[in-house]
Each structure stands twice: as C-alpha cells, then as structure tokens.
Chains A and B, each alone.
Chain A
Amino acid sequence: METVAARQRPITQAQSTDLTIDQATNQTQALVDQVRHAYVHQQPLMITGGGSKSFYGRSVEGDQLSVSDYRGIINYEPSELVITARAGTPLHIIEAVLAEEGQMLGFEPPHYTPHATLGGAIACGLSGPRRPYSGAARDFVLGVTMINGKGELLHFGGQVMKNVAGYDVSRLMCGAQGTLGVLLDISLKVIPQPASEQTRILSGNQKQIQNLLSKWGRLPLPISATLFHNDQLYVRLSGTESGTHSAALSIGGDQIIEDQLWQQAKELQHPFFTSEQTCWRLSLPPAAPEIPEYLFKNQLIEWAGAQRWLYSEADHCNIIRWAENNGGHASLIDRNTSDGYTLFHPMSTGLMALSQRIKKSFDPAGILNPGRLYPDL
C-alpha cells in the first residue's frame, strides 16, 4: 500500500492550457458580458463545450457561447474527496489527475469524443455503468458557479459533502442541458478507485438473468456494473482483493479478461451500437418486465435491468407508452455525426407547465439553449 503521506499530497499538475486566476476572472467577465448582452437584446445563445454530446438533445439556433477555453482544475485535495474545476476542462484530464491519486468520478461519465468537457458531462447529466451502484452525475455534484439568463454570476452549494442552505440549485443544473444557466465552476465529490476489479460471465435467458439480478440486488455484493446481451450476462465486481474474491465465489460464472467491455458500453462503442440507426434508451425500474418482442429487433441491457437500449421499427408511441406504463421513460437517440439529435420522453401537462415557470425563473428571456431539452423549454 502507498503511504498515507504520499496520498495526501495535494496535486495541481497544471496543464499548459489551464487559466491563471486573472485569465479566469477575465474570461468569466467576458462570458457574463456576452450573456447580459444576449439578455438585453433577447438574442438566443447556443452554449458549447467540446461538442461531444451535441446529439444529446435538439438542435439550438443561436449565437455560440463557448466555454471550452474556460478550463483548469481550481482545487483538488484527495483527502477531501472533492475536486473543483472549470467547465471547459477536458474530462480525460480530470480523470487522469484523479487516477494519479487513486481516485475517480463515481458516475463514470461517458465521453463520446476526446473533446468531452466537465461542463458538458454535468449539463447532460449522463452516467456510465457504475450508475446503479455508486450513483448518478447529479449525486456527485456539490456546488456550481453559474451565469443565469440575466447575466448574473451566481454561486450555489459548495465544496462540502453536506449542504442544505437554500434550494439545491447545483443538482438542478445537472441534466438541464444549459437551459437554466451557463456552468462555470463545478465541485464534485470523488471516490477512491477500487483496489481490485474483475469481470465474470454467466449465461441464461432474460428471465433467468433478471431473477438472478433481483436476488443479488438484495445481497450486499460489491457489484459495480452489469451488461446483458445475447443471453450472456457480464458482471463487474469492485472492492478489496478479498471482497471481490469472495463475491466471485458466491455469484459463480467464469472470470474473463475484459479490458474493453465496460469502456465500450459506457462510450456506446459496444458492437451492439451503430450510429446508422436511431436507438432507443429506456430507463426503467430494474425488475420491469421483459419488453415485448414486437417492440424491438435487438436489445442490450445495463444497470441490472434499469437501462435498456433498443433498435426498433415499432411505432414510437407504442414504445413511449410501454416505458411509461412500466414505471419509466424512453428517449430516442440519433448519433449521426453531422445532425444527430435526441428526443426525450413527453412530460405531463402539469410538469411541463411547472418546468416552463422554472425555466423562466432562471432565464426570463428564454435565451439559454432554447429548445435543446424540449421545444417549450
């Protein structure tokens, strides 16, 4: 084991593109000015980071507001389990810096391209294979500095684990896709990397596997990811050496050497995924019934049943209705590089009206990424 002293060393290995404090202040001011100007002139803005998730949502018409140069790690002390960085910081840099200290982002955010930024990851609120076990992006957000649609610079939450002063605006920003504010600085809780990890494979049909997953879910097993496809279940175990070893004995199956599987699943690069066809993502209670065969051609199941990817020629309404009737929701994703888009599940009238009022409270002129999430937001 590494010595404690070595682990406590605060690291701030500066990247050449990191901003100095003065540069950051100037850039913040420039971004504030740009939003304020857009507010005064009621001119819509399209907020961009690294462009890696531009397909996740609808296209936005507006002047570009780029935060990709607003980058750098502001504060990271491993013993605090907190990192604060600017929104334009590339995700891979953040992950590398954390890995150096034996830590990681617990929600395993997808990158999709090497240009993925922290701001984009939080604005989209996407989480990877570890989601059901460690939590979602929103679970790790501790605080943000942001610009609202009036061009006001605001700070919510902080760098501490527990904070109930005022409404939890920082978490609200997660998944709001920039429609409520421009994210500048983001503080996240981080977790220690597991000391040991292994992947096991088991075979069975969906019913058998769902039963198994439900049973395991009620046991204290260190499962950190699952993937089911073509009657094969892959299970990742993470924990201490002896913890994963004893869990492996109780779940059975065979250990496989798999360095790519989870990375591929997270990045939608598993052979199942093709960018030629639109793909459905169904988010469901994990033990929701099997999706009827007439609704899909091919499926891949993650998150112990809670995230199901489908290729389908069925009527859109039927898929949406099935997801809703089974306690979840559906989104339709087109990852075409040139003009990809995502359509999200329709909201109830009451919820949409409330969401519109909330949007208005942050962005009264409707200039921040209008329409990106829903046409009316």
Chain B
Amino acid sequence: MTLSTATQRDNLLNSLLPELGQLIPAQSIITKVEQLHAYECDAFTTMRQLPLLTVLPETIEQVQHVMRCCHRLEIPVVARGAGTGLTAGSMPVEHGVLLGMSKFDQIHDIDLDNRTALIGPGVRNKAVSDAAAPHNLYFAPDPSSQLACSVGGNVAENAGGIHCLKYGLTVHNILELEFVTIEGELITLGCAALDAAGYDLTAIMTGSEGLLGILVKIRVKLLPVPASTRVMLAAFATIEDAGNAIAAVIGAGIIPAGLEMIDQTGICAIEELMHAGYPVDAAAVIICELDGSIAEVEDELSSVIRIFTDLNATDIQIAETAEESTRIWAARKAAFPALARLAPDNYIMDGTIPRRALAQVWKQINQLADQYQLQVVNVFHAGDGNMHPSILFDSSDDDQHRRAFELGTRILELCIEVGGTISGEHGIGLEKINQMCLQFSATELQQFHALKQAFDPKQLLNPGKQIPTLARCAEFNAMHVHHGEMPFPHLERF
C-alpha cells in the first residue's frame, strides 16, 4: 500500500465510519486489515483485493442505511454471499465497501400449500432442501458447491447444477425477489403467484452479479421429491460414441434428471481418489440419472439401456441400491479434488455449446491443449452442453500461468464459434470480463451499460465487473490479437 492510497483510505474511513455507525453496530463493521483478508477473494483465488471495510448487516434497514451512506459519499459496494464464486464476482474493489450477506441466513417461512420458501439471501443452498425434506420437498438448483454457497449468490449468478437439465436453473426456480437499490430503496420484483405485472425484472436481476441491487429476500419454489431415481454409468471407447449417445437419449424424448460426461484423464483421476469402479480404460463415461414415478423410470431406463447398447457402449453399470447410486455420484462430485491432485492449479472453464458440437469441440480442445503444452481434463454437464474443461497448470511458473489463461481464452472462442457462450453458470465477474468482448458487439455492451444505468446511475454497485467498458475491449482485442500472433501464429483460426 502506497502512502497516498493509505491516506485516501483513512480519509474515506473517517467520512464513512461515523455515518455507518448511526445504525450499524460496531461489531458488524470490520476495518482491521488482518481481518479484511478473509474477504479479499472468492474461490477464484488468483485475483485478490482488500476492501476499504466489510459490513455484515443483519436487517434490511441496515442494508438500506449502508447503501444510502455509500450513495451519498459515492463509495462502491460489492455484495458477497458465501464467496464460492469462480469468477472473482465478489472480489472487493479498492476503496469500496464489501457487504457480506452471511447474517441473512433465516428461512422465514416454508409454505407447504404453495410449495415455496421465503428465505434470506445468506441461506446456504443445501439448507433450503434440508428444511423442506421433512415435507418431501426440495429446492431444485444444486450446484456442486451447494453445501457452502448462498442462495443470494445462486440468484446473482443464475447458478445451475447437475439436475438443471430437467428442473431448470435458478431463474426457473424463484418467484419473488426483494432488493435494495443503491439509493437505499426497497423494491419487490415478482410475487408469490406464477407471474407478476409489468416487466419480468426477476429475470434481469437473476444473473446480474450484484451490479443492479442487493438481494435481501428470496421466495423460491419447492418441488416434490421424485418417487424413484435410478443412476447408471456407461462407458464408451470413443468420444464420438459418447457424444452420439447423449444426443440420442435427448432425441428419443427422454429428459434425464442428470446427464454428465467425464473423459479418460478425469476417469483415472477420480478412480484413483475414490475407487468407485469407474472403467479406467474407457475414452469417456456418461452418468445418467432418471427420475419420476416408479413406472416412468423403469420405462425410461430400458429405453436408455437400449440406446447406449445400440451406440456401442462398452460397459453399462446400473446402480441397484441407493448406496451404489451414491457411489457413482460421490465420485463425480469429487472430480475437482481428484483433479487438484494432478497439478498445483486448475483453471475451470464454463463454456456452453450446442450438444451437436460436443465431440468436435472436445477434439479441438485436446488439439489446443497439445499446442499449448498443457493438460486439459473434461468433466461436465453434457446434457445441456455445459463444458467444464479444466486446464491443469502450475501458477508458480509464469510462462505456464500465461499459457493456461491464453488457452482458456482460445477454448471460449471456440465455444462462441460453434454458437455457444463463454459462461453457462459460473458468471463473468472479473475473470471472464475480457472474453465478453469476444461474444458481444459494442452496441450490445452499450445496451447492457444503459440497463445498468437504469438501476445504478453512479456505477457504484460492483463496478468493473461483468460488463466490460468499450475502452477495456479495445485494449483487450489489441492485446489478444497480439498474443495470438506472437507465440502461436499457426493457431489463429481453425
């Protein structure tokens, strides 16, 4: 910290603290640098920044007060849920307030007749399903981070999970949002009914990464727990066969509850850690979960077995007991710890592509990985085309670090080229902000900025995230082409 920023920090603290103190108890305000380190990054740990201070409000009035103070003093505010984001979305901004929403962790009401829960944004994802379980209900979005992440974070990122192929993303599973504007006004979007009057602003708020307002209350939908669930694991000798099998299941009119795919490196890494009986000689495995009434699931199970067999599955394991199902899933969910054993660092991509391009893109990713001399492992939500290629590297090696991030950009470009997107569920944050310049035109980005302006004219909410400025894009495009040409001239286009 240079002297001038230290002085600036002190000045800001001197003007902000007395104002905050009018309504926020001292123990809810953190200013000590040692303690602020806990808030300097999310799960994308490569990017870090200390905030001016952290406030942990407990009531909506306190959130409103923080917003009014910051608005008056023009101090940026970054909301934070559980900090499990993978794109530096809740990373603080310099001289800004970090608003930690962890104390908003009450489940206010579970309405059994309407099958909804009214909760605070700090409630953990899994806690909602746990609270609903005695009533045979659950909250469908199930990101792998569900033990830790908050529902506020899920709404802000429009999080998905292994079951979103059939049950939708967060946006499909919420009815009503209460949020506080940067001016401190409390506004309700949506309602307890299935639709609301006026513009569909719950859709705009979902996935807005804390740039439009602070969520303080959320009404989520609860679904009945299916009567029957069956899980199977099918092995394939080639990636093409596995890709065709995925397309054929969907083409046959079956929507599995989960349809996941893992490549050979992934299989081996997982098997070594979990000993789950995954076939280590397969080029790819598919995990398919079917759910519904007992009768329905048995019908679909025989159809899927027939499809996989017709399309050259080399091995099909069908879990006969709940323990066997858990074993198959637990191994899949341990993918990230398993990969972590292969290299010091792991850069997880989140591009989503049309399913038909799966095999082709997978191949091209492997080619790119060879060219960049890095290993890429694919463990992903195949049913909805959401790829999670993980680039393995060692960040202590500067050159590897640079190559890893360049390879990441190339992979995302590839996703855009085949008609996909740079992010299916993790969001943009700061981590993918440059790649937004590849996906959107200048006019589209300006439209995003205009929309942001309607909520936050002074640009104080999570500034610098999600939507790049045109200046930033100009810089990135110049640099990007430069990098593409210099070390790997032959890689420009396929």
- Residues of chain A at the chain B interface (Cβ within 8 Å): 1, 4, 7-8, 77-82, 102-103, 125, 131-132, 135-136, 138-139, 148, 152-156, 158-169, 171-172, 174-176, 180, 191-193, 195, 214, 217-222, 239-243, 245-247, 283-287, 303, 306-307, 327-329, 331, 344-348, 350-352, 354-355, 357-358, 360-362, 373-374
Contacts and interface: CB of A to CB of B under 8 A. Distances in A.
B203 A171 contact: yes
A82 B254 CA distance: 15
A75 B198 CA distance: 31
B385 A160 contact: yes
Contacts of B114: 285-287
For the complex of A and B, the 6 pairs showing the least CB-CB separation, nearest first, are: A192-B253, A243-B296, A287-B113, A242-B295, A171-B203, A162-B424
B425 A164 contact: yes
B296 to A, nearest CB: 3
Interface in B236-265: 247-248, 250-255
Interface string B198-229: 11110110111000000000000000111100
Contacts of A354: 181, 187, 201, 454-455
A77 B247 CA distance: 10
Contact of B200 (A171, A239, A362): A171
Contact of A160 (B115, B137, B158, B421): B421
A8 B248 CA distance: 7
Given A79-B247, A79-B250, A161-B386, 8 more contacts: A154-B441, A161-B384, A162-B160, A165-B436, A171-B204, A176-B200, A344-B197, A362-B451
Nearest to A307: B194
Contact of B168 (A79, A139, A287, A360): A139
B448 interface: yes
A79 B160 CA distance: 21
Contacts of A283: 193-196
A164 B158 contact: yes
A195 B296 CA distance: 11
Given A240-B300, A285-B193, A156 B252 contact: no
Interface string B435-469: 01001110110011011111100000000001100
B310 interface: yes
B113 A286 contact: yes
B252 to A, nearest CB: 6
B407 interface: no
Most B CB contacts (10 A, CB to CB) among A152, A154, A161, A222 go to A161
B192 A171 contact: no
A172 B194 contact: no
Most A CB contacts (10 A, CB to CB) among B135, B295, B307 go to B295
Contacts of A132: 194
B248 A214 contact: no
Nearest to B424: A162
Given A218-B135, A219-B224, A158 B199 contact: no
Contacts of B467: 166-167
B136 interface: yes
B200 A172 contact: yes
Most A CB contacts (10 A, CB to CB) among B195, B295, B422 go to B195
Contacts of B441: 154-155
Interface string B374-387: 00000001001110
B143 to A, nearest CB: 12
Contacts of A195: 253
A125 B466 CA distance: 28
Contact of B187 (A8, A214, A219, A350): A350
B186 to A, nearest CB: 8
Contact of A79 (B115, B251, B448): B251
Most A CB contacts (10 A, CB to CB) among B193, B298, B299, B451 go to B193
B121 to A, nearest CB: 18
Interface in B394-423: 419-423
B451 A169 contact: yes
B35 interface: no
B120 interface: no
A166 B448 contact: yes
B424 A160 contact: yes
A171 to B, nearest CB: 4
Contacts of A328: 191-193
A160 B353 contact: yes
Nearest to A282: B193
Nearest to B87: A164
A245 B296 CA distance: 10
Nearest to B467: A166
A327 B450 CA distance: 32
B474 interface: no
Contacts of A135: 168, 172
A55 B226 CA distance: 41
B366 interface: no
Interface in B340-390: 352-356, 381, 384-386
Given A8-B251, A82-B354, A222-B292, A166 B436 contact: yes
B412 to A, nearest CB: 10
B112 A218 contact: yes
A160 B224 CA distance: 27
B153 interface: no
B251 to A, nearest CB: 4
Nearest to B137: A218
Nearest to B247: A79
A351 B177 CA distance: 12
B427 interface: yes
A242 B296 contact: yes
B188 interface: yes
B294 interface: yes
B251 A174 contact: no
A125 B248 contact: no
Contacts of B425: 162, 164
Most A CB contacts (10 A, CB to CB) among B189, B192, B300 go to B192
B348 to A, nearest CB: 15
A152 B443 contact: yes
B426 interface: yes
Most A CB contacts (10 A, CB to CB) among B113, B255, B303 go to B113
A153 B201 CA distance: 22
